[in-house]
Amino acid sequence: MAATIPSYPDPAASINQGEIRRLVLNLAWPSILENLLQSGLGLVTILMVAQLGSTAVAGVGASMQLQILFISAFFALSMGTTVITAHAFGAGRIETTGKIAKQSVGAGLVLSGVFTIIVAVFATQMLSLMGADADVVADGSRFLRFSAISYIFMAVMFILGGVLRGVGDTRTPMLVTAGINVLNVVVSYPLIFGVGVFPRLEIDGAAIGMVISRLAGCGIMVLLLYRGRHGVSIAGLDGWRPDVTHLRRLANIGLPSMAESMLRSGGQLLFVIIVFMLGTAVAASHQLAQNAVFLSMFPGFGFAMAATALVGQSLGAGNIPRAKAASATATRACVVWMSVMGLIFFVFAEPIMKLGASGEDRQQIIDAGVSALRVIAFAQPIQAIGFVLAGSLRGAGDTRWPMVSTAVAMWIVRLPLAYLLAIPLGLGLAGVYLAMLGDNVILMLMNLWRYRKGDWANRKVLVGEPSTTPPQPVKAGDAEPEAVVARG
Q: 210 near 192, Cβ under 8 Å? A: no
CA-wise closest residue to 440 among 488, 380, 377: 380
Alpha carbons 267 and 410: distance in angstroms, whole number:
6
Q: How far is CA 291 from CA 47, 163, 486, in A?
A: 10, 28, 30
**C-alpha to C-alpha distance for 146 and 135, rounded to whole angstroms:** 17
Find the helix or strand (DSSP H, E) in which 437 lies: helix 428-453
Distance CA 456, CA 307 (A): 13
- Residue 446 near residue 405 (C-beta atoms within 8 A): yes
Burial class (CB in 10 A: 0-12, 13-18, 19+), 454: middle
- Cβ–Cβ < 8 Å for 403, 263: yes
Per-residue pLDDT of the chain (488 residues; tens, 9 = 90+): 333 333 445 555 556 677 888 888 888 888 777 777 766 677 777 778 877 777 788 888 888 877 777 777 888 888 888 888 888 887 777 777 888 889 899 999 999 999 999 998 998 888 888 777 788 888 888 888 988 999 999 999 999 998 998 888 888 988 998 899 889 889 988 998 888 788 888 888 888 998 999 999 999 999 999 988 877 888 888 888 888 888 888 888 888 888 888 888 788 878 888 888 888 778 888 878 877 777 777 778 889 988 988 998 888 888 888 889 999 999 999 999 899 989 998 988 888 888 766 666 778 778 877 888 888 888 899 999 998 999 999 988 888 999 999 999 999 999 999 999 988 998 888 888 899 999 999 999 999 999 998 788 877 776 544 444 443 333 333 333 333 333 32
Q: With beta carbons less than 8 A apart as the criterion, state whether 56 and 202 touch.
A: yes
Which residue in 482, 160, 187 sits closest to 320, CA to CA?
A: 482
How would you write 272-305 as a 3-class SS string?
HHHHHCCCHHHHHHHHHHHHHHHHHHHHHHHHHH
Report how far residue 202's alpha carbon sits from residue 331's, in angstroms, rounded to the nearest whole number: 42
Question: CB atoms < 10 A from the CB of 483, how many?
Answer: 12
- Cα separation, 23 vs 165, whole angstroms: 13
* 146-182 burial: b if 16+ Cβ within 10 Å, else e: bbbbbbbbbbbbbbbbbbbbbbbbbbbbbebbbebbe
Question: Which of 366, 348, 228, 253 is closest to 295 using CA atoms?
Answer: 348
For 71-103, the DSSP string reads HHHHHHHHHHHHHHHHHHHHTT-GGGHHHHHHH
- Using DSSP's 3-state secondary structure scheme, residue 232 falls into strand
pLDDT tens per residue across span 247-278: 888 888 888 888 888 888 788 878 888 888 88
Burial of 439 (0-12, 13-18, 19+ CB in 10 A): buried
With H, G, I as helix, E, B as strand and everything else as coil, classify residue 223.
helix
| Residue 431 to residue 212: CA distance in whole angstroms | 39
Which H or E element spans position 15? none
Start-to-end Cα distance in the chain = 41
Among 203, 89, 231, which Cα is nearest to 147's? 203
Q: For residue range 424-441, what is the model confidence (pLDDT) as tens digits?
A: 998 888 888 899 999 999
User: How many C-beta atoms lie closer than 10 Å to residue 22's C-beta?
Assistant: 13
Total residues belonging to the chain: 488
The Cα angle at residue 93 between residues 81 and 480, in degrees rounded to 5: 75
